[in-house]
C-alpha cells in the first residue's frame, strides 16, 4: 500500500502543497499497529487532497496530555526548526494531536501566524474556514473533557489502592517485590543493601562513599542506571522501609515520601519491615547529622558556566565542590572521572573572571543576530516561506553585560564553545597552577544566531 501511495505522490505537480504527517501514540507495545495504520491512512488522505508528504513526525510513547506538540521530539523539531518546509499538518484524530484546549488554541494561533493549516482524518477540521476553526476548538474541548474523566478514574483508583494492604498497582518501593498473590515481600539482596547502609550511616559514612562501595561491588541499583548519592538518600529516607504504604510529597521542590494513613489515622501496613521504627528514626538522625554541614544550593546552580568549563584530562564538566570545616568553607572546581576529582582549582570565581574576559575578547564584538520566519507572499511572483536572519543592533558583549553569566552560558553552550581547564602541580605550593584554553568551533558565529521561540510568546 505504501508503494502505491508513493507512486501516486510522484505524479503530483512540483508546486503541490506540502504535508507533514503527525503520528502519536501514548503507549507503544510490540503488538500495536496503530502507528502504521495512522501513517498509511494519512498518506492516503494526503493523496486525496493533492498534498505532497514531505515528512512524518512519529512520537511514540508520548502523552498528549503531558507533552504539547511543540515539545515533542519529532513534531517539535518540525515546528521549531523546519517551519518553511511544510504547509499543512495532517493528523489521524484530534486526541492523537492534542488533548488540551489550551494546547489546541496555541497551535491554532501558531498556524495563523505562520500560514499553516491543520487537517484531521476523522474530524471536520480545516483552519482555512471559520466553520473548520470552530470545529477544531469544539473537538479539542471534548478531548479535554474525555481526558479529565480518565484522570478522575485513575485518581479514584489510586485513592482506593492506597488504603489497601494488598499491592494492586504501581512499582513496589526499593527493598520489596510482589509475590504471586499481590503481596509485597522483602527482596533479599536489597534488604542486605539497606541493612549495610543503615550500619554505615550510624558510623558516619557519607552517602557518596556508600555509593562508591556499592558500585565497585557490582550490586544492581534495582532501577537501572548507576548508583548516585541522591538516589541512595531518597531510598534510605523512605518510610516504606518500615513496611508502610507511602505517597510522594514535594515540599519546595524536595522529593520525599509521606506515610499513608487510614480513616482512623493509623499507618497502612503493606509488608514486613526491613527496618523497625526505632532503626529507621536512628537512620534519619544519622543522615541529618551529615546533611547539616552541606551548604544551601544557589537557585541558579552551584556551578557557573556549567557545560562550558571541562577538564583537559578526562573531558567531563568541571563542577563546584565545597568542603566545610569549623569556621570556613572551601570551594573547588573539580571534574568527575579523574582520581579524587583531579587537582582542584581552588578559586572558582577567579576562573569565571578569566573565562569571561577570554570570551569577551573572542566573541564579544560579534553582532547579535536573530532568526525570524518570513511567511512569503502571493501574486505573480510568489515568495516562498523562509527563515531570515536580522541584526538586533547590539553586540554579544552588550547582551552578556546586560543579561549576566547565565545568558552567556546558554549562548556559549548553543555555539559549542568550551574552555578546557588544566591544573599543574607547583613544587612546594599547595594550590596548583590553573590554565584555561578557550575552544571556539569554526561555525560558532552561525550557531550563535538566536532562534526565537514562537510558542513562548503564545503561552504568555
Nearest CA to 148 among 65, 82, 217?
A: 65
Read off the pLDDT band of 380 (50, 70, 90).
Answer: very low
Q: Residues 98-102: what's their mean pLDDT?
A: 81
- Whole-structure pTM value: 0.63
Q: What fold does the segment set 2-157 form as a domain? A: Rossmann fold (3.40.50)
Average pLDDT, the chain: 85
Read off the pLDDT band of 295 (50, 70, 90).
Answer: very low
Mutual orientation of helices 405-415 and 348-363 as an angle, nearest 10°?
60
Rg for the chain, CA atoms, rounded: 28
2-157 and 176-291: same fold?
no
Nearest CA to 84 among 371, 369, 376, 391?
A: 376
Poorest-pLDDT segment among 81-90, 324-333, 410-419, 441-450? 324-333
Report the DSSP pairing between strands 386-395 and 367-374. antiparallel
Query: What is the pLDDT, as a whole number, of residue 408?
Result: 96
For 176-291, give the CATH class. alpha beta
Whether 360 shows a pLDDT value over 90: the answer reads yes
One-character DSSP codes across 57-112: EEEES--TTTS-GGGSHHHHHHHHH-GGG-SEEEES-HHHH-S-HHHHHHHHHHHH
Query: What is the pLDDT, as a whole number, of residue 150?
Result: 56
**Which of 4 and 262 is assigned the larger pLDDT?**
4
Poorest-pLDDT segment among 127-136, 142-151, 201-210, 408-417? 142-151
Report the DSSP pairing between strands 319-325 and 328-334. antiparallel
Alpha helices (runs of H) in 263-345, residue ranges in sequence order: 277-291
Alpha helices (runs of H) in 416-460, residue ranges in sequence order: 444-447, 454-459
Inter-residue contact 354 to 437 (CB < 8 Å): no
Report the DSSP pairing between strands 184-186 and 176-178. antiparallel
Q: What ranges do the domains of the chain cover?
A: 2-157, 176-291, 309-459
**Which of 443 and 131 is assigned the larger pLDDT?**
443
Query: What is the pLDDT, as a whole number, of residue 301?
Result: 53
CA separation for the pair 280, 439 (Å, rounded): 50
The proportion of the chain whose per-residue pLDDT surpasses 90, expressed as a percent, equals: 47
**Which of 155 and 305 is assigned the larger pLDDT?**
305
Inter-residue contact 56 to 92 (CB < 8 Å): no
Q: Residues 229-253: what's their mean pLDDT?
A: 81
Amino acid at each position: 500500500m505504501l508503494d502505491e501511495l508513493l507512486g501516486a505522490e510522484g505524479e503530483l505537480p512540483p508546486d503541490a502543497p506540502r504535508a507533514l504527517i503527525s503520528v502519536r501514540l501514548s503507549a507503544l507495545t510490540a503488538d500495536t499497529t496503530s502507528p502504521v495504520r495512522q501513517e498509511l491512512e494519512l498518506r492516503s488522505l494526503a493523496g486525496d487532497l493533492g498534498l505532497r508528504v514531505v515528512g512524518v513526525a512519529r512520537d511514540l510513547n508520548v502523552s498528549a496530555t503531558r507533552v504539547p506538540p511543540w515539545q515533542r521530539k519529532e513534531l517539535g523539531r518540525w515546528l521549531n526548526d523546519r517551519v518553511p518546509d511544510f504547509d499543512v499538518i495532517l493528523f489521524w484524530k484530534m486526541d492523537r494531536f492534542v488533548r488540551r484546549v489550551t494546547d489546541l488554541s496555541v497551535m491554532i494561533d501558531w498556524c495563523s501566524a505562520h500560514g499553516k493549516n491543520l487537517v484531521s482524518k476523522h474530524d471536520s477540521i480545516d483552519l482555512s474556514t471559520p466553520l473548520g476553526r470552530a470545529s477544531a476548538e469544539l473537538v479539542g474541548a471534548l478531548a479535554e473533557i474525555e481526558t479529565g474523566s480518565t484522570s478522575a478514574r485513575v485518581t479514584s483508583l489510586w485513592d482506593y489502592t492506597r488504603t489497601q494492604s494488598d499491592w494492586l498497582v504501581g512499582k513496589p518501593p526499593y527493598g520489596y517485590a510482589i509475590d504471586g498473590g499481590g503481596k509485597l515481600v522483602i527482596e533479599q539482596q536489597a534488604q542486605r543493601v539497606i541493612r549495610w547502609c543503615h550500619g554505615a550511616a550510624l558510623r558516619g559514612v557519607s552517602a557518596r562513599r556508600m555509593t562508591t562501595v556499592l558500585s565497585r561491588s557490582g550490586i544492581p541499583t534495582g532501577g537501572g542506571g548507576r548508583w548516585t548519592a541522591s538516589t541512595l538518600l531518597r531510598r534510605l529516607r523512605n518510610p516504606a522501609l518500615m513496611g508502610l504504604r507511602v505517597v510522594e510529597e514535594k515540599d519546595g521542590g524536595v522529593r520525599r515520601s509521606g506515610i499513608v494513613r487510614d480513616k482512623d489515622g493509623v499507618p497502612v501496613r503493606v509488608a514486613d519491615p526491613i527496618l523497625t521504627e526505632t532503626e529507621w528514626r536512628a537512620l534519619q538522625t544519622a543522615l541529618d547529622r551529615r546533611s547539616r554541614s552541606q551548604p544551601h544550593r544557589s537557585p541558579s546552580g552551584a556551578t557557573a558556566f556549567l557545560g562550558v568549563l571541562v577538564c583537559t584530562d578526562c573531558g567531563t564538566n568541571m563542577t563546584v565542590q565545597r568542603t566545610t570545616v569549623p569556621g570556613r568553607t572551601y570551594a573547588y572546581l573539580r571534574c568527575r572521572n579523574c582520581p579524587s576529582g583531579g587537582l582542584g582549582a581552588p578559586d572558582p570565581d577567579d576562573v569565571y573572571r578569566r573565562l569571561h574576559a577570554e570570551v569577551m575578547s573572542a566573541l564579544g564584538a560579534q553582532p547579535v543576530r536573530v532568526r525570524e520566519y518570513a511567511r512569503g507572499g502571493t501574486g505573480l511572483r510568489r515568495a516562498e516561506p523562509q527563515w531570515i536572519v536580522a541584526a538586533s543592533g547590539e553586540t554579544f558583549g552588550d547582551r552578556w553585560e546586560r543579561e549576566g553569566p547565565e545568558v552567556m552560558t546558554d549562548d556559549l553552550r548553543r555555539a559549542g564553545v568550551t574552555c578546557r581547564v588544566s591544573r599543574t602541580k607547583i613544587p612546594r605550593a599547595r594550590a596548583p597552577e590553573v590554565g584555561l584554553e578557550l575552544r571556539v568551533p569554526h561555525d560558532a558565529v552561525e550557531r550563535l544566531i538566536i532562534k526565537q521561540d514562537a510558542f513562548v510568546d503564545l503561552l504568555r
